Amino acid sequence: MARASYHHGRLRETLVAHGVLLLAQKGIEGLSLRTLARKAGVSPAAPYRHFKNAQALAEAIAAEGFTRLRSTMLATMADPLLAGRTPLERIGMGYLSFAQRHPDHFQLMFSGRVCPDPGQPESALHQAGQAAFQALTDTIVEAQRQGLVAADVSPAELAVVSWSFIHGFATLLLAGFLDPQELNPGLSQAELADACQKLIRRGWGQKSTPKPRRR
């Protein structure tokens, strides 16, 4: 069955799918083309027709992860149940949802072992990463058009700030360093992320009169 799917051009997809499972079990160090060939039921040499080494396979898995990330963020943006949230809050919730649902992809994508190379703009990894980031930038541009974000703010710079916050939040959460229950019993992870985003917006967006210094 697996050999037949290879001859029909589906071996690459099969290897990526098995690679995701192997990644979850053994981490990036456990990715092995020979192991994946055995799981796919093909010869040890067959995977090398699609990936020159395990690093290339890891990059393909990461590219798939960025594609899933973009899809998850856009789906969250379109969720009618979240219509009362701001665009940045909705897309942030999509990012957090992806990290929680696909922790192995998430950790690989930002492990430093696989990085989109600006010098190879045609690569699948670079294009998938850029497309995911562009979804965030486009959201900010649309929010500016609606008057929800100041017009003089750089969309790219705000995208970096927003990405840094939600990525750090998701990373701390997955690593076990952040427990919403310790901060506020009864608060869910999504609710804490939402509260933090609102706090940042309120803290940075309001002006206050400096308190007079005591002499």
In the chain the domains, ranked by start, together with CATH numbers, are 1-52 (1.10.10), 58-204 (1.10.357.10)
Residue 147 tokens, joined: 């008057």
- Name the amino acid, one letter, at 82: L
Residue 148 has pLDDT above 80, yes or no: yes
Q: How far apart are CA 15 and CA 150, in angstroms?
A: 46
4 to 1, 7, 16, 38, 42: CA distances (angstroms): 5, 5, 17, 14, 9
Question: Nearest Cα to 145, choosing from 72, 87, 207?
Answer: 87
**DSSP 8-state assignment for residue 213:** P
The answer to whether 126 and 120 have CB atoms below 8 angstroms apart is: yes
In the block, residue with structure tokens 């979804």: 135
Judged by average pLDDT, the poorest of 63-67, 169-173, 207-211 is 207-211
Cβ count within 10 A of residue 214? 4
* d(C-alpha 53, C-alpha 59), whole Å: 10
- pLDDT category at 151 given cuts 50, 70, 90 is confident
The pLDDT, as a whole number, for residue 122 is 83
Burial group, residue 15, by CB count within 10 angstroms (0-12, 13-18, 19+): buried
Q: Which of the four pLDDT bands, split at 50, 70 and 90, describes residue 131?
A: very high
User: Residue 92 above 80 pLDDT?
Assistant: yes
Residue 132 has pLDDT above 70, yes or no: yes
The three-state secondary structure class of 52 is coil
DSSP 123: S
Distance, in Å, from the CA atom of 30 to the CA atom of 32, rounded to the nearest integer, reads 6
Structure tokens at 102: 């696909």
pLDDT the model gives residue 206:
45
